[in-house]
Structure 1
């Protein structure tokens, strides 16, 4: 709008200047032609008055103009006997004052054909002629020219302002109507952007209305292109979801099927190790087979658990006291690393929520195991539980070496491994934090980590319903 109105304003100003200049030149030319004719007539009148002067009648400008009905006609006569000047008005003939006559003569001395402003009379165009030693100054009022120019400028100004206002309104309406499809596109894109597309089954049903996606217009082409893009994205998300479900079923089925042979391997190895007459090499090999089968079993169990959590299974909700859960979790973790310093900070009042006690205990156990495994001896590990507004918060803090940023970004991914600063000292599946995240998200919570050297904190937040946050649940329902 600013660009259009600016360009149109410039064009109108140029047109106004050219029109005013052309009309002003034309009016000035007509005035000069008229002045030239009247100057010839006044010369004749002066000749006649000179003859009458011989007859005894004095020759003055007023006598010369007597009987002339031409308002705005100015006449000044200068001779050896004196100088007089007069102006014809609608009421008659008026003599010029000394100051007015002096201003008139000064203008004539500067230029014989010019314009002069006389005090109280206005502006005049004048010309000078001479006859028989008499200087004759003839002038015509420029009031009509100036009035016409003033009216023209007023009309141009008002017309320009009115035209610009009309142009602004028309442009605004045109732009709003023309860009309405883009607002529909923006609205559709915003609604799609607010949908959770990162996981789970996703169906994008939002589309730009067909009336705003007409490919025959430029803005309609944008809407049509967005609809095409959304169709493609929706198909891709559906395909991704099918692949994920297929992979999840494969992992779950494979994990389930592997449990039986792994149990058999572990059973046969245990049975074989009962034979005291086994050679030492054979016994060592069986012990390795048993250890690896146990490790493989843990991995299969973790994969099966993740697959079931992804499907929304495995969670059995009940009343859980997070403070009691933390106490039990720390009691279980303390004997596994006596060289660490263990602290706990829980409120006196229970922190009650609805959840799966067993899985929540697994979250606490995994976080404590992670802190124990990846920190050196002597590290202080603090487990705390608190209620913050409408959330239950669990924090596991340690003053170990910290987590490198590249590792921290992928910490909750499956099979994640730490770098040398938090090197794994014992065997593990690399799925502990991924399982913890899946359990937390299954309870509609969040898990985050903040880490700098000497200060690492895992924070788990669970939403509390009004009933679950009061701490007045039946103690018999508290998880043990």
Structure 2
């Protein structure tokens, strides 16, 4: 006989309660406990008050019954016997219980029924009552066939008496009050629960809107490509005056930042692709030239070897090819050095700080530009006091040289180029102005981008590699400054702003 081992079935995890359910259950439970506590307290207080009133009524009834018993006993003398039924026949108060036990006689007891008739108690009932009494005064007992009674026991001369009133009226009143309280409590709980549901649902509606918005955003493909996050928490659910509304507002702000970051990422990717394409194009041209001239030189040498051609012609051809190869190598070296400079500037390297006289730097840059552009008119505007800043003199000279070379290259002969240096608040300002045709509006926004040039043909005569202004911007940014351009036909100004050192105090 084979006994199979019991299979342990995985327990299903209970589904967690939502925040709304927990709030409603918690608040409703607390309110229910409060209402039930109030109901219990009211019932206990009313019960105690009714019992005090019953005790007062019982005391009055006991006083009346005992007085009647004593008055009826007196005419008969000490040997006469007055029973409880005889006494109650005179009192006739509904529900009154009376038991008398003379010291020299048998105990008797009777009760007044609801219709006013007097019924004598049996011996067993009398013994049951007397057996439950343990002390004089007020007490509560249960009598078989009659129910619960509130009794008062006392000792008289020659006998003991017990007077009681039924507790049924008090219990009935308490039951009615408790039932009324329970009904009112239940109705109140229903109303409170409905109000709590409405309030909690309304209060958590902004949070649900936040969760729904976050869920929709999470389902968007954000890993690649042009991404625009249009999802936002509705303005009505993002009120900063409420706690949950601040969460919605914070999510909207976060989504704005993410959206702008994704746009910046896409622009950077596009710029990087364009940069790689431009760099490849710029490097392909000299490499193709080097390869072509190398093949031309080899071909000339091989022809001379096979056909016995002129050695002089072969040497001349090889020399020209080597000169072109050298020129293209120098061009490619310059391009690679510029790219390396940009990469190091992006990493915060390549700067050696020192004291730089921006006025002297402008004078030297203009002096270097005049021989290169003799057909332009060069004007220098500087003050008597030098403008001193903290920076890298070599790199800042490169900025000025690039701006002057840009003005010389992209303006016709006879153009006036004005270089000025001055202070503007806490900034040192270098301006290069020309009255040439201006910057093409189509390329103005991307003028400082890498490989950005006004001449799309990439001709060597009208422009370089397109890295001059991007290098100038990188150097200025590394110094904590700004570079900008304002251009209309006949009025173009490149402005460089750099943090200036405070002027020296007068001696």
TM range (shorter): 0.5 to 0.7
SS class of match (1:265): helix
Q: Of 149, 154, 158, which residue of structure 2 is paired with 1:133?
A: 158
- What CA distance in whole angstroms lies between the structure 1 residues aligned with 2:111 and 2:217? 85
- The Cα of 1:111 is off from its aligned counterpart by 5.1
- The Cα of 1:21 is off from its aligned counterpart by 2.4
- What CA distance in whole angstroms lies between the structure 2 residues aligned with 1:224 and 1:155? 49
Q: Of 69, 82, 89, which residue of structure 1 is paired with 2:113?
A: 89
Rg larger in structure:
2
Question: Which position in structure 1 is the counterpart of 2:409?
Answer: none
1:32 aligns with 2:62: no
Question: Which position in structure 2 is the counterpart of 1:101?
Answer: 126
Q: CA RMSD in A?
A: 2.9
1:75 aligns with 2:98: yes
Question: Which position in structure 2 is the counterpart of 1:157?
Answer: 182
Q: Does the aligned pair in 2 maintain the 1:203–1:234 contact within 8 Å?
A: yes
Q: Of 43, 60, 66, which residue of structure 2 is paired with 1:43?
A: 66
1:123 aligns with 2:148: yes
1:234 aligns with 2:242: no
Q: Residues 132-186 of structure 1, C-alpha deviation per residue, up to 9 Å, x if partnerless? A: 3021111111111111222222222232222222222211111111111111111
- What CA distance in whole angstroms lies between the structure 2 residues aligned with 1:272 and 1:145? 129
Question: Which position in structure 1 is the counterpart of 2:25?
Answer: 2
Question: Which position in structure 2 is the counterpart of 1:208?
Answer: 233
1:199 aligns with 2:224: yes
1:11 aligns with 2:42: no
Q: Which runs of 5+ in 2 are unaligned?
A: 1-23, 306-313, 315-321, 333-507
- The Cα of 1:66 is off from its aligned counterpart by 0.9
Q: Of 179, 193, 197, which residue of structure 1 is paired with 2:204?
A: 179
Change (3 A) 1:56 1:66: farther
- The Cα of 1:78 is off from its aligned counterpart by 0.8
1:262 aligns with 2:287: yes
Q: Does the aligned pair in 2 maintain the 1:73–1:88 contact within 8 Å?
A: yes
Q: Does the aligned pair in 1 maintain the 2:136–2:153 contact within 8 Å?
A: no
SS class of match (1:82): coil
1:246 aligns with 2:271: yes
- What CA distance in whole angstroms lies between the structure 2 residues aligned with 1:52 and 1:90? 30
Q: Does the aligned pair in 2 maintain the 1:107–1:114 contact within 8 Å?
A: no
Aligned residues: 283
Q: Does the aligned pair in 2 maintain the 1:107–1:115 contact within 8 Å?
A: no
Q: Return the TM-score normalized by structure 2.
A: 0.51
SS class of match (1:31): helix
Q: Does the aligned pair in 1 maintain the 2:65–2:91 contact within 8 Å?
A: no
- The Cα of 1:129 is off from its aligned counterpart by 2.4
Q: Does the aligned pair in 1 maintain the 2:68–2:90 contact within 8 Å?
A: no
- What CA distance in whole angstroms lies between the structure 1 residues aligned with 2:140 and 2:250? 70
- What CA distance in whole angstroms lies between the structure 2 residues aligned with 1:133 and 1:193? 97
Q: Does the aligned pair in 2 maintain the 1:74–1:85 contact within 8 Å?
A: yes
- The Cα of 1:70 is off from its aligned counterpart by 1.9
Q: Return the TM-score normalized by structure 1.
A: 0.54
SS class of match (2:107): strand
